[in-house]
Amino acid sequence: MIFRKLKELMRKELLILLRDRQTIPLLFIMPLALIFFLSLALQGVYADKVTEQQIALVLESAERTPKSLQLEKKIAGNKLVRRISRPPGYDNDRLFEYGGAQAVVFIPEGFAGGTRPVEIRFDPVLDAGYKVALRSLIIGLAAEVVLGVDDIETTMANFVVERTTKNRNFPSPLQQSVPGWSIFAMFFIAIPMSIAFLREKNDGTLPRLFTYPVSPNLVALGKVIPYYLINLLQIGLMLICGIYLMPQITGLSFNLGEHPIHLVPVTIVVAAASTGFGVLSAALARTPEQSSTLAATGAVLMGVFGGIMVPHVVMPLIMKKLAMISPMYWAHQAYLDIFLREASFGSILPKLIILTIFAFFCFYIAGRRIKWM
């Protein structure tokens, strides 16, 4: 009998949700759009810039000696460089602003004789990492030509050995965006959830519902479970898009890590935390307008502090400390533990405990404040 009542309450809530032909589709379209555009926008911000993006370069030479021609050929053939031509009438300033070039390399007269060095001019806004990479490349290639060495990097390899550990901090653009914006959209479920509750309360639907033999706890479950299932469906679809669709569209990779099965418990707990936030938003507000403002503002602030809008790894130290107040931070880091750090379930468990405490806190405060009648 209880399960039949719960089923009918859930059915009622789902029918109300399905009538809203704008909000519910938005909960799926919004994170998908954010994942697509921000993954592309972030590609050159914190990804491996040297291997994933070429530098647009104008290469010019004032002399045609064998050494100058050899250097020009070596620079133009390097995989870091994409050579472009200078448009007619464009000086360097205009070239950088409108011509699409990021650097100009000029081989002057006297280079072959050792009297004048190669000149490099960078776009002032070019990232420092690119500048270092291109400057090192030009110095190395010029040294090869002047010294008559075919490959100076190979020659020097016996003097330097790289011992770089595997990347465990910097996510790829998709690893950052897919879980990040999925979590953000999950917390946005608080808006339709709180609005629906307050409208039913204000228009008398809830008081009429209690004329039937049904308890407040059962009504609460009937309202919470549909939104919880929507959250699970949200992140499930976003992960499927991130794994199979987005790499085909954007050309970016998405590595799930060594233990993708850990996505299941993490997603279950994150969905509970976001649903709890929705219940709390409904409990703290008195009108639908207040609830939507509270839910939206809370979700945005949690996204700002939690490393969703700005990757946590590039934040200054004080912001990294403040990020820990946001449940989105713990949720996002749990996903990054799976994708990047090959973390065991024991390593992820503390984050899940924090999110579970947050969910219980939201449900407890909401239960104390909600007045059904």
Q: 199-206 long-range CB contacts below 8 Å, 24 or more apart? A: 199/288, 201/372, 202/287, 202/288, 206/372, 206/373
Give me the residue spans of the domains in the chain.
2-45+170-369, 49-156
pLDDT at 210: 64
Domain at 49-156: CATH architecture:
3-Layer(aba) Sandwich (3.40)
Below-50 pLDDT ranges, the chain? 47-51, 373
Could you tell me which residues are beta bridge partners of residue 59?
105
Q: How far apart are CA 79 and CA 216, in angstroms?
A: 66
**What does the pLDDT look like over 33-71, one tens digit per residue?**
888 887 777 665 554 444 456 788 899 998 889 889 988
Alpha helices in the chain (DSSP H): 2-19, 23-41, 43-46, 49-52, 66-76, 92-98, 128-147, 152-156, 173-187, 190-202, 205-209, 216-240, 246-250, 263-284, 288-305, 317-322, 327-339, 345-369
Tokens linked to 118: 């190669």
**What does the pLDDT look like over 64-108, one tens digit per residue?**
898 899 889 889 888 888 898 888 888 888 888 877 788 999 999
| Residue 56 DSSP code | E
Q: How far apart are CA 85 and CA 79, in angstroms?
A: 17
Report whether 360 contacts 276 (CB < 8 A): yes
